[in-house]
Amino acid sequence: MGYGPSKLTEIKARIECLRQEMNRTFVVNGGDPGNLQVLKLSQLLDEQLNCYEGCKQYEAVIV
């Protein structure tokens, strides 16, 4: 799997999309942080954030 600037840019774009979608879903569902849709989006966002951090650490090791 190739890690590099383009991969990090792709992950950052997914993070921003998920963040916006989670915020919209939160508002639409009355600001309920326990809403199942909000929780699912939060989990997906966490996964992408972890992936981003992992890619950054991998890059730091090989540079």
Per residue in 32-60, pLDDT (tens digit) is 999 999 999 999 999 999 999 998 887 66
DSSP of 16-54, one letter per residue? HHHHHHHHHHHHHTTT-TT-HHHHHHHHHHHHHHHHHHH
Average pLDDT, the chain: 90
Question: What is the Cα–Cα distance from 31 to 38, expressed in whole angstroms?
Answer: 9
State mean pLDDT over 20-41: 97
